[in-house]
Amino acid sequence: MAKLLEAEVIEKVIRKYLELKGCTMSPSKTRGQIGPDIVAKRNNYTWFIEVIGFQEAPPIRSREFYEAFFRVISRDRGKPNNDILVLGLSRRFKAGMKQRMNQYPVAWRKLGEAFPNLCIWYVDHENNKVEECPWSEPFD
């Protein structure tokens, strides 16, 4: 199975979005480097961003989502007023997010309470747009 959308495409749009917000950013990682995909800073705020592409196969897509979720919450430094944890996804993920949230309603809510600074950013790579959503409200 192939990737329908590479993570690098999503990352590029996010980097441009953060640049327009006046953020400074870590350089792009090379294959095999560990750590967040993007660390961005502006004033007293730091964004820790994990980015994934969009796989053709739903089971692989799901696995990558949860792996990225665990990577991003591992970046938490206990500063929810200044650190923003971001899961950067293709906007195509949004269509299945309600089902994902409804599958684990109690856990999803508790995660939102435990990590009030956790966000999902849906990236429209065709129009270079980013939609920011809190974990607790990942869809319209």
Q: Give the start-to-end residue ranges of the domains of the chain.
A: 3-134
- 9-34 in b/e burial notation, b at 16+ Cβ within 10 A? bbbbbbbebbeeeebebeeeeeeeee
Q: List pLDDT tens digits, range 103-125.
A: 999 999 999 999 999 999 999 99
Residue 1 confidence (pLDDT)? 55
Q: Are the CB atoms for 39 and 10 separated by under 8 Å? A: no
140 or 33, which is more confident? 33
The per-residue pLDDT of the chain, averaged, comes to 94
Q: Are the CB atoms for 119 and 87 separated by under 8 Å? A: yes
Q: List pLDDT tens digits, range 26-39.
A: 999 888 889 999 99
Q: List pLDDT tens digits, range 46-64.
A: 999 999 999 999 999 999 9
Indicate whether 6 pLDDT > 70.
yes
Give me the percent of the chain exceeding a pLDDT of 90: 88
Nearest CA among 84, 68, 74 for reference residue 116: 84
Note the CATH number of domain 3-134: 3.40.1350.10
Q: Are the CB atoms for 55 and 3 separated by under 8 Å? A: yes
